[in-house]
Amino acid sequence: MLEGLFFLPGRALCRGRCCRFFVTLGVFSCSSYPNAAPSTSSDNQIVKSFSSLYFYPGHSREFTLKSSDKFRCPRKFVPHQARTFCKTTSFTDSTMNQLNQAKNIWRKANAVCFDVDSTLIQDEAIDELANFCGKGDEVQELTAQAMKGGMDFREALALRLDLIRPTQAQLRNFICTQKQRLTPYVKELIYELHKREKEVYLISGGFRSIIEPVAKSLDIPTANIYANRLKFFYDGGYAGFDETMLTSRSGGKGSAVQDLIERHGYDTVVMIGDGITDWEASPPADLFIGFGGNAFRHEVKNLAKWYVTDFRDLINELRD
């Protein structure tokens, strides 16, 4: 049996009498025996009896076939599209079990925590603020380093803010004129969570004054926000940030999750985010779900037990 996942659904990958290919929602199976094809019910479900997965990474890779001793698929029957733009990745039963466990935790969670920048909204608000204040290029590089875990978070935050030095008037104008773009389907996802009486929190290394309008648009109480506060002098000049806030330091998101658990006694908490700082919040969160719909980070995908790029995956899992 040769089975796998290929991101060219609906195209024949093998021709000839020696084998049969079945392509269903991206899952294919090649077998020398009739009625041996796997079946799937959704694009999130992968057959359990496969030996390898074939991913399309967006650049040319030599295609490697893996098959059992009983069956070999001749190379000439595999078209060029399947021989290139692919790589082989092992996918074990334990990985499948981890995914199923993650989905079970997601369904039973009574509190869900979202990162904000590049998760709840499409952009990094501090980069947008930097652009607004004319300091975009200098700040973007520091943001990238911070998201990859390349430097202490508080140090990175201080360096970026020292470059931007936003005045109170600039911040007010930014909030009024630069509406934050919600990630597709996040409004529907939060509606589904609220409908099931799951509490929603926003845990961010960003700034509370920018996040509050977003929270209100999603019917999330401002009391459910853990974020940083900017400080200003009486004349409106930049005076720094409040270092007593949990999310102003490395590991702060985990501290925020622990705080809400202790305050409310939640049994099961899920953290959703795009960065290393979000992954670090689990534990104490029972599950971290990596999100790559706005910013794809390989290191986060490799660490997450469940990684999605579309919030509809989470919505569908709640509805099933």
- φ, ψ of residue 204 to 5 degrees: the values are -140, 145
Nearest to 207 by CA among 236, 256, 241: 241
The angle at the Cα of 242, spanning 238 to 245, to the nearest 5 degrees, equals 150
> In which region does residue 242 sit, left (phi positive, over 0), alpha (psi from -120 to 50) or beta (all else)?
beta
The angle at the Cα of 268, spanning 153 to 250, to the nearest 5 degrees, equals 10
Place of tokens 């190379």: 75
CA–CA separation, 251 vs 235, rounded Å? 33
Q: Which of 115, 127, 274, 286 is catalytic?
A: 115
CA–CA separation, 38 vs 151, rounded Å? 46
Judged by DSSP in three states, 151 sits in coil
Contact 239, 233 (CB under 8 A): yes
CA–CA separation, 94 vs 97, rounded Å? 5
- Catalytic-residue membership of 274: no
- φ, ψ of residue 199 to 5 degrees: the values are -80, 140
Q: Which of 43, 117, 310, 320 is catalytic?
A: 117
CA–CA separation, 64 vs 73, rounded Å? 11
CA–CA separation, 11 vs 198, rounded Å? 41
DSSP 8-state class, residue 247: G
- Catalytic-residue membership of 115: yes
CA–CA separation, 117 vs 127, rounded Å? 10
Contact 255, 246 (CB under 8 A): yes
CA–CA separation, 141 vs 139, rounded Å? 6
Judged by DSSP in three states, 199 sits in strand
The catalytic site residues sit at: 115, 117
